[in-house]
Amino acid sequence: MNRAILSVVNRTILCASATAALLLPFTVAAQDAAAPADYVSRAEYDKLKAEHEAMKTEMEALKTAVRQMANGTAPSAPAEGPVSAKARAGSKNSGGKEVETAAPAAAADDLRQEVETLKTQVKETFPGSTKFLLAGYGSAGFTARSGEDPFFDASFNALFLWKLTDRLFFEGEMELQFENGSTNINLEVAQASYLLNDYMTIGVGRFLNPMNFFVERQHMNWVNKLPDKPLAVYDGLLPESVLGAQLRGVIPIGPTKVEYVFFGANAPNLITSFDDPAAVGLLDFSNTANQGGHFAIGGHVGFIPIPELEVGYGIQRAKVGPRDRAAESVLQSVDFNYVRDSTLLKGLINFRAQWVWSRVDHFVYDPDGSQGFGPFEFNNKRKGGYVQMAYRPTHIDNDIVKNFEPVVRYDRLDQLHTPVGFDEQRWTFGLNYWLTPSAVIKAAYEFDDKNGGARNQDAFMLQVAVGF
């Protein structure tokens, strides 16, 4: 009985051993499959096989060369086979397992890198995008101002940008707008800039006036928060574009930044003609021919103590008027710009302010009385500016409400004691709706208040502005 039991046990153990021996290869194969790092795919095998074949060819070529050298003949240059240097480098590891794992991994990395490079190159060959960019902005609006006929208007500014090298850059801006029943074309900007080093860029040509923060950064219709532009800073006491040269840059000081711009340009012209008596003593900034032969120098210094805040000061000095009896003119500007994305107020707060002073020293207009008004002189000092606040509830979880942006602005221009003869101040209340980050619909109502007997001109304005 015991022997029978023993026999059964032995047979069972034998069967189990045989079964284990049969299953062992499958188990190992399964483990290999579970460890993909050690697994060589068909493609990798084919690649390795090709490399191996290429190596064999090379070896044969080398053998031939050695044989030729031994025979005293010059070896012929081996033809470059299909094996790349990279593949040869990979093949140097002839350690079996290393070739199976390291070489395919390196090849895969190389391939991935090449694909990424190609993707970038393909994207960069999209039509019209190689080192050139056509950008700009356009707007269409409606204005109903008391005492004037209501009207529609439209304008278009095309911005042509060329990156010629990593240091050389050219920008041109062309403005097309309706004025007095015709279409005007103005060359706002035509400037070549060269990056001298990390902290200095030189620019020559026609450029936006660097001392005027609003003009340089915020006058574009899709950036400006209201349909019209503030008094004094735009189309008022400061030039918009100047013709000359500028040196500019930024100096990082820890977490803060100091920006600077110095420029020399054609001087403005002093209006001495009484064709328009109210304009006498004003500065004509469209003096492209530089009548009078004077030059203006100026600059702007900006300081960014924290990313949300920027304050600046700009100045321009120039002799103006006829060469034989020129007067000194000084334009100054202080600017303040604060933008904060506040979680407490659930939105973006935007606070902008700029104040401008203009002074032309003593000058006698119509000294010989030939125009029938003189001799005439006055204290030619003017000042003005604006303060503006806007709020957009970007953190409110409503797709419509978050795109609204109420705006309020106070602006004024003081020139009561000049031939203009009045001071003007305005309160403007606006509501914007942002269709995209660079497309906005603006509606605003402006309360106008003039002294000196001039008529107040309240206005209702609509504007659609798009930046592209």
Nearest Cα neighbor of 441 from 219, 141, 153, 136 is 141
Q: What's 36's DSSP letter?
A: G
What is the distance between the alpha carbons of residues 264 and 248, in angstroms, rounded to a whole number? 12
Of 61, 154, 258, 278, the one binding other proteins by CB under 8 A = 258
ω before 375 within 30° of 0 (cis)?
yes
Nearest Cα neighbor of 45 from 103, 85, 112, 84 is 103
212 vs 332, beta carbon nearer other proteins? 332
**Cβ contact 334:354 at 8 Å:** yes
How many helices (DSSP H) and strands (DSSP E) are in the chain? 5, 18
269 vs 354, beta carbon nearer other proteins? 354
What is the distance between the alpha carbons of residues 279 and 35, in angstroms, rounded to a whole number? 87
Of 256, 273, 286, 379, the one binding other proteins by CB under 8 A = 256
Of 99, 139, 171, 283, the one binding other proteins by CB under 8 A = 171
Binding mask 195-234 for other proteins (x = CB under 8 A): x--x--x-x------------xxx-x-xx-----------
Q: Give the shortest CB-172-to-other proteins separation in angstroms.
A: 11
Q: Give the shortest CB-254-to-other proteins separation in angstroms.
A: 5
Tokens of 313: 């000061």
Q: What angle do CA 96, 97, 100 make, to 5 degrees?
A: 95
Binding span for other proteins by CB under 8 A among 9-17, 310-318, 372-380, 423-431: 310-318
DSSP string, 70-134: HTTPPPPPPP--S--HHHHHHHT--STHHHHHHHHHHHHHHHHHHHHHHHHHHHHTSTT-SSEEE
Q: Which residues, numbered 262-301, are part of the site for other proteins (CB under 8 A)?
A: 301
How would you classify residue 421: left for phi > 0, otherwise alpha for psi between -120 and 50, otherwise beta?
left
Q: Give the shortest CB-192-to-other proteins separation in angstroms.
A: 11
Nearest Cα neighbor of 388 from 433, 359, 428, 445 is 428
Q: Give the shortest CB-305-to-other proteins separation in angstroms.
A: 5
Tokens of 462: 């609509």
The answer to the question of residue 467 lying near other proteins (CB under 8 A) is: yes
Q: Which residues, numbered 313-342, are part of the site for other proteins (CB under 8 A)?
A: 313, 315, 330, 332, 334, 337, 339, 341
The answer to the question of residue 241 lying near other proteins (CB under 8 A) is: no
Nearest Cα neighbor of 355 from 317, 383, 327 is 383
The answer to the question of residue 438 lying near other proteins (CB under 8 A) is: yes
248 vs 382, beta carbon nearer other proteins? 248
Is residue 232 helix, strand or coil? coil
The answer to the question of residue 306 lying near other proteins (CB under 8 A) is: yes
Of 147, 150, 252, 452, the one binding other proteins by CB under 8 A = 252
Which amino acid would we find at residue 7? S
111 vs 134, beta carbon nearer other proteins? 134
Binding span for other proteins by CB under 8 A among 34-42, 140-148, 252-260, 421-429: 252-260
What is the distance between the alpha carbons of residues 465 and 130, in angstroms, rounded to a whole number? 27
The answer to the question of residue 123 lying near other proteins (CB under 8 A) is: yes
The answer to the question of residue 192 lying near other proteins (CB under 8 A) is: no
Is residue 32 helix, strand or coil? helix
Binding mask 345-384 for other proteins (x = CB under 8 A): ---x------x-x---------------------------
Of 45, 151, 162, 178, the one binding other proteins by CB under 8 A = 162
Q: Give the shortest CB-148-to-other proteins separation in angstroms.
A: 31
Q: Site residues (CB under 8 A) for other proteins?
A: 120, 123-124, 126, 129-133, 135, 161-163, 169, 171, 193, 195, 198, 201, 203, 216-218, 220, 222-223, 248-250, 252-259, 301-303, 305-308, 310-313, 315, 330, 332, 334, 337, 339, 341, 348, 355, 357, 434, 437-438, 467
